[in-house]
Structure 1
Amino acid sequence: MTTEIEQGTGLSRRIWHPMAMVLWSAITLTAIGWSLGLPRTLGISYYPQQLLAILLGLSVTVAFLSLPVKGNGIREGRLPWLDLGLSALALLATVWIVWGYPTFVTQVFARKPEVWLPGLVMVLLLLEALRRATGWALVIIIAVFLLYALFGNMVPGRLQGRAQNWQVLSGYMALDSNGILGVPMAVAGTVVVSFILFGQLLNTTGGSNFFTDGALLLMGRFRGGAMKIAVLASGLFGSISGSAVANVAGTGVVTVPMIKRDGYPAHKAAAIEAVASTGGQLMPPVMGAAAFLMAEFLGVSYAAVALAALAPAILYYVALFIQADLEAAKLGIAPVPADQIPPKRAVGTGLHFLLCFAVLIYTLFALSWQPERAAVAATVTVILSALLFGYRGERPALLTILDSVPATGRAVIEILLISGGSGLVIGVLNVTGLSFNLTYALVQLGQGNLIALLALSALVCIVLGMGLPTLGVYVLLAALVAPALIETGVEPIAAHLYVLYFGMMSMITPPIAMAAFAAASIAGARPMATGFAAMRFGWAAYLMPVLFVFSPSLLLIGPGTAIALTIATATIGVWLISAAIAGYMAQRLSGPMRALFALAGLLALVPADAFPGAVYSDVIGALGGLVLIAMNFLSAKGKQPVESGT
């Protein structure tokens, strides 16, 4: 049926959509070619910023083709002539910048029209494209920073900055490596695109179905199996999806109804899915796009970031998994019906999908390849294994695999636009001296007290993260908050992981909890109730960052014995606190017992090297907790199972 929009004036979808497909494909192929070093192999000399300008220009161009002025998603009807004109203008500005870049970059401060005019056009078009892709929140924040760059001399006090000439600022933002064409775009244009392509091919070849079926096979026969399936499937899928909300949408449509069918309240079913999906971006080996950017900011390998993030991420999922199990026991939820569990033989046909992760881990950690090259190697492995073996008797068609190329380009538009917008913020911080002033002001507010600074930083992280995409959140926090923590002596990687964790927690923290609200819409639950339930299930993510700031051993930094003791006692602590929150161990816990479990868990969670004498609190908490567990099991022995309740 022809829509009202289709009947209006403008370019028909039959014309503009193939154009968009070509541009989406060009984005993917340009990024992959760059990741593999094809230009150098072909003997082509270029500035890296020229390739970044191509990727950004293609993204802005196709954004005006495919994104409507109002509303979300891809345009379905005709393309208005104005949008066609803006798309052509973006393409023209891109060609001009790329062609003249070697000359223009040396003339930024000369205020020549051929430099600042295309720069101004590109900045304005980027902001409008970003508004269409993500909404007003990030655009308003960027606009505030740009206004500060122009009028920073009028700001009183410590935050006063150097006012910039608008012509110089336009050229600087569009051409300098500290502006739009900076580190965020470089990471997004190589690493992120490569991993998104990997994820797309896993999805189209049946890999995502294999992991969901595998989780169902492994956990379906246990109590609360649907909840455990959600934890496993969402964690696996979330580590490659790059977006908590996209993960909720991708796996939640399967897992949330399953949990509800088990008799679990709708808001709690949605909360478990939201917390599991959010944690995927904290879980190695892939993690989210922000982790690759973190490696660039810190000047370390991605493998180092992934290794440091491993233990806290596992403890995060251990806490969620234990709570799912204990909640199921408390409510008397039975296993998934046998007829809904796929047979082992059928699931076994997809074991070859594990090979791509083996290749990814081997090339990343053993061969020390760049992440983008490792992702391409894993992608090739997915394609070959899927064509050779298929899944559950079906092999993907070659056309389906080829469709992943434009699909990837379409999927990364938002990330590339956010990366360009993030470059504007970083450019302002550099050119005005605001980064130093903000760090100083934050340290002064904390008055040199690390605990006060951590609390203030956590609040800033959650507030800035509300309603913003993950990558944009991390770039802002890494520039504004992490330096203040490092200034007080916090390990740099701990500071960056701290802001990443609390930035991510904005996804499940009301009043704007995007992942929780997305899950609530699937479950038909109240959004705010889902958000508060998600905070309860995701409690570990609020506590874990504070612990690894005081004790790098939780990040696998330090002597092996200290690391082993920290992980062991932390696991016991997570178990005890999860039981206290669920109100159940072998039987329901009374109020005083819940308090004792929580106290013992907190003592056990504190790493032995957090402060002098902390080893004693570790031992007291762990041993006391084990005694409490034994008492609870002995008390429950011989009693009847708890009846189902709510």
Structure 2
Amino acid sequence: MSNPSESRTPVTPSGEAAATEAPPRDEVVLENLTDEQRRAQETEASEVAAKFDIESRTRDHNWRPLALFLSGVAIFTALYHMYTSFFGPPGVLLHRSIHVSLILFLVFMLYPPVRGAQGRVWRIVDGILAVLALVPTVYLAVNYETILRQAGRFEQMDVLVAGLLLILVVEAARRLTGWALPVLAILFFLYGMFGRDLPGMLRHRGYDWDTMAYSFFASTEGIFGTPIGVASTYIFLFILFGAFLNKSGMSLLFNDIALAVAGQSRGGPAKVATIASGLMGSINGSAIANVVSTGAFTIPLMKKIGYTRNFAGAVESTASVGGQILPPIMGAAAFIMAETLGVPYAEVALAAIVPSLLYFLSLIVQIHLRATRLGLKGISRDSLPAVMDVLKERGHLLLPLVVLIYMLFFSGRTILYSALVTIVITIIAAQLRKSTRMGIKDILGALEDGTRSVLSVSIACACVGIVIGVVGITGFGLTLAGGIVSLAGGQLFWTLVFTMLACLVLGMGLPSIPAYIVTATMAAPALTQLGVEPLLAHLFVFYFGLFANITPPVALAAFAAAGISGGDPMRTGFAALRLAAAGFVIPYIFVFNPEMLLRDVNLLQGVTVVITALVAVSLLSAALEGHLMVKMPWYLRIVLAAGALLILNPNMVQDLIGLGLVAVVLAVQVVLAKKQDNLSWKAI
């Protein structure tokens, strides 16, 4: 989200039809919006958010004492998690139940059951649900030792409380994430209860409600399982860190640096969108929220220089989704992956560096070549900020990120301690300049914003816990994995293809973190059965779970971008799919070539792998765009794509064949360029 103090915003262009049909050749000048225009732009972004981002559909509390009370609860929740991150939680199960109850309480108070349900009756009902949300924690706290000693032998009251928790979690997930995740949870619950009646490989022994209730409520395998454990620790702290960065004006810093570095180049605004959205997306962890916040600034700029509405929306959505794979934070999913695999966080972040850079390189190359083909220019240098001026004004805000990287990778401190220290450093660093200084009100606002931002993630993790609990006791994950491997005939390539398709389906309509958890639980085992390293398998499913957000027919991030750009949602989705096509190839490459993840390689090998991958992905992007020096015929695009893929393969013979194919295409391109007397390729 942009800082309220931001003032430099582009004018929404008039005459969009002219911009899309005949791209202007003159440089674009950034202009300041009037207050009325800025409010109109913010209103438009809010309307788009309300349509595509369920998290923005909060209830209006006009009674000030109630609004202040809820703000106080949110601030208390943030302070509680900061306290437990430093001094330790009261007990694993109790801490997770406190976290879930506080989150449920706020969800029912802040989010109506359906849009527009603002009446007194609805508020009373939701108030009752909010109070009931506290019951499981109070009951668990009073009977903590008794429940632990029972070891699965539940009393009737235990079963009732577990049932209440299950219903509340599913309903809260429906309000915050839509129908996809709750329906999935209900289906798995029914599968656990009645699986004995199913045919073939889906059949299992079946479980009664007492067994299911124990799994959901009194163990760390269900609702209070690993996902909610990570949400109540790492994710909460890092989302809180992002809220403090946002309050200090970090989004403006990212935008200004991106403008200063790439704004003047060909297609500059699209490159600005890619860089700024990628950086912010890594921190805020929500592709749709990132599209709405940064897209309100970048999409009008892209349209103004001549990109079509659909392409502008595609750029913003693909970059925002890509932020989730960008270290060091990766939208907080890296912490769940590390916890699930039992490996150090630094190992996950290091492995993700090269693939994420390749993804963003592919976007920038296609953006540049599209601009070259259309004859588009960038933004006038006179209206762009200078890098040194940006760093002088807001460069001190980079200090928390530098400290974070040091703490996570070199200090040997725990992740929670690192996050807490970095939050404190953010507050201190912001005081260094008047334009970024945070007072008590800003600090309290950041605490409240952080808690509100974590609501959807935590509820999704709790709801996913239902799925994981059923998968754990029924063995469904191994059953599904066996089915995928059998369908693929035991061939790794086809297993990857079927796993990819499963992830795209399972990830439809889900936020990034629950999408990863679901796909890692049900799809990743298919790869590990064939000998793929667990980290590679989890990164593979993580990528494709995310890409569901830009894959029609349920491309939520692309649809949100289309809402801002005025483009067609489905066409924007397909444009995003094409733009991210290289990203669909990258996971296959690192499975077959683990050296791309910088695992078990020396310096020379690492440098060679990175340079080779950068060149090959650039060539693949050129093939996808159909332009290098001049426009490429379809058959040259196929040859170039084949050559790039062969270069990416870790085989010397295939590398040589690939280089030969690339050389042929380059030679033909030079000849065609000379024949057409088109020297635009020199600008590449």
The amino acid of 2:504's aligned partner reads: I
1:426–1:263 CA distance, 2 compared to 1 (3 A)? same
Hey, what does 1:198 align to over in structure 2?
241
CA deviation after TM superposition for structure 1 residue 344, in Å: 4.1
Structure 1 residue 241 and structure 2 residue 278: aligned? no
- 2:480 partner amino acid: L
The structural deviation recorded for 1:168 is 3.3
Relative distance call for 1:248 and 1:97 in structure 2 (3 A) is same
Q: Are residue 387 (structure 1) and residue 431 (structure 2) matched?
A: yes
Identical residues among aligned pairs (%): 38
Instruction: Map 1:210-609 to 2 at 5 A.
Output: 210-348=253-391, 349-390=393-434, 393-560=435-602, 561-606=604-649, 608=650
Amino acid at match of 2:269: A
The reply to whether residue 632 of structure 1 matches residue 669 of structure 2 is yes
Query: Is the CA contact 1:60–1:417 (under 8 Å) kept in the aligned structure 2?
Result: yes
Which ranges in structure 1 are unaligned for 5 or more consecutive residues? 1-9, 40-45, 609-613
On the 8 A contact 1:65/1:79 being kept in 2, the answer is no
Cα distance in 2 for partners of 1:78, 1:248 equals 35
**Equivalent residue in structure 2 for 1:114, among 157, 161, 167:** 157
Q: Is the 8 A contact 2:248 2:436 kept in 1?
A: no
Contact residue 520 and residue 541 of structure 2 kept, 8 A: yes
Q: CA deviation at 1:77?
A: 8.3
Partner of 1:43: none
Q: Distance in 2 between matches of 1:263 and 1:147?
A: 52
Q: Does residue 1:124 correspond to 2:167, yes or no? A: yes
Write the distance in 1 (CA, Å) between the matches of 2:496 and 2:525: 12
1:126: Cα distance to partner? 1.0
Paired residues of 1:65 and 1:84 also in contact (CA < 8 A): yes
Query: Which of 38, 42, 67 is matched with 1:17 structurally?
Result: 67
- Check the 8 A contact 2:630/2:678 in 1, yes or no: no
> Cα distance, 1:397 vs. partner?
3.0
d(CA) in 2 for partners of 1:572, 1:199: 34
Whole-Å Cα distance in 1 between the matches of residues 537 and 229 of structure 2?
Answer: 23
Whether 1:209 aligns to 2:246 is no
- Contact 1:466-1:507 at 8 Å conserved across structures: yes
Which SS does the other structure have where 1:385 is aligned? helix
Provide the residue aligned with 1:3 in structure 2: none
- CA distance, structure 2, for counterparts of residue 200 and residue 629 of structure 1: 48
Please say which of residues 357-366 and 583-592 is displaced more in the overlay.
583-592
In structure 2, the residue matched to 1:42 is none
Q: Unaligned regions of 5+ residues in structure 2, if any? A: 1-59
CA deviations 1:422-464 (Å, max 9, x no partner) are 1111111122232332222222222211122111111110011
User: Which of 152, 163, 179 is residue 195 of structure 2 equivalent to?
Assistant: 152
Displacement after TM superposition at 1:174 (Å): 1.2
Output the amino acid matched with 1:399. K
Contact kept in structure 2, 1:573 and 1:621, CA below 8 Å: no
1:175 aligns with 2:218: yes
- The answer to whether the Cα contact below 8 Å between 1:153 and 1:160 also exists between their aligned partners in 2 is yes
Q: Distance in 1 between matches of 2:677 and 2:424?
A: 56
Query: After the TM superposition, which of the residue ranges 524-533 and 439-448 deviates more from structure 2?
Result: 439-448
Q: Tell me the SS of whatever aligns to 1:203.
A: helix
Q: Is the 8 A contact 2:477 2:523 kept in 1?
A: no
SS in 2 for 1:358: helix
Task: Read off the aligned partner of 1:474 and give its amino acid letter.
Answer: Y
Distance 1:630 1:430, change over 3 A: same
Q: Show the counterpart of 2:108.
A: 64
- CA distance in structure 2 between the partners assigned to 1:340 and 1:75 by the alignment: 45
What is the alpha-carbon distance in structure 2 between the residues aligned to residue 99 and residue 346 of structure 1?
58
Q: Which residue of 2 aligns with 1:99?
A: 142
Q: Deviations over 1:583-613 (max 9, x none)?
A: 222222233332332222122122x2xxxxx
SS in 2 for 1:162: coil
Counterpart residue identity of residue 25, structure 1: I
Contact 2:234 2:415 in 1 (8 A): yes
Aligned-residue RMSD, C-alpha: 2.2
Deviations 1:507-557 (A, max 9, x none): 111000011111111100000100111011101221111111111111112
Q: Within 1, Cα distance between the matches of 2:384 and 2:397? A: 20
- 2:43 is aligned to none
Other-structure match for 1:622: 659
1:623 Cα deviation after fit? 5.4
Residue 402 (structure 1) shift: 1.9
2:81 is aligned with 1:31: yes
Measure, in 2, the Cα distance between the counterparts of 1:137 and 1:314: 31
Q: Which amino acid aligns with 1:168?
A: T
Tell me if the contact between 2:169 and 2:462 (Cα under 8 Å) persists in the aligned partners. Answer: yes
Per-residue CA deviations over 1:180-219 (Å, capped at 9, x if unaligned) read 1111011111111111111111111111101111100111
CA distance in 2, matches of 1:135, 1:77: 24
For 2:399 and 2:505, locate their aligned partners in 1 and report how far apart those are by CA, in whole Å.
40
1:52 match: 96
Distance 1:344 1:128, change over 3 A: same
Code of the residue aligned with 1:57 in structure 2: it is S
- Given the superposition, is the C-alpha separation of residues 383 and 12 from structure 1 closer, same or farther in structure 2, using an over 3 Å criterion? closer
Partners of 1:77 and 1:496 lie apart in 2 by 46
Aligned partner letter, 2:380: P
Tell me the TM-score normalised to structure 1 length: 0.92
Range moving further from structure 2, 231-240 or 113-122: 113-122
Moved more, 11-20 or 183-192: 11-20
Aligned partner letter, 1:254: F
Bigger mean CA deviation after superposition, 381-390 or 492-501: 381-390
After superposition, give the CA deviation of every residue in 1:243-300 in whole Å (9 maximum; x if it has no partner): 1111111211111111000111010011011111100000111112222111111110
Indicate the residue corresponding to 2:125 in structure 1: 82
State the partner residue of 1:4: none
Counterpart in 1 of 2:19? none
Contact 1:281/1:287, CA 8 A, preserved across alignment: yes
State the Cα distance separating 1:75 from its structure 2 match: 6.7
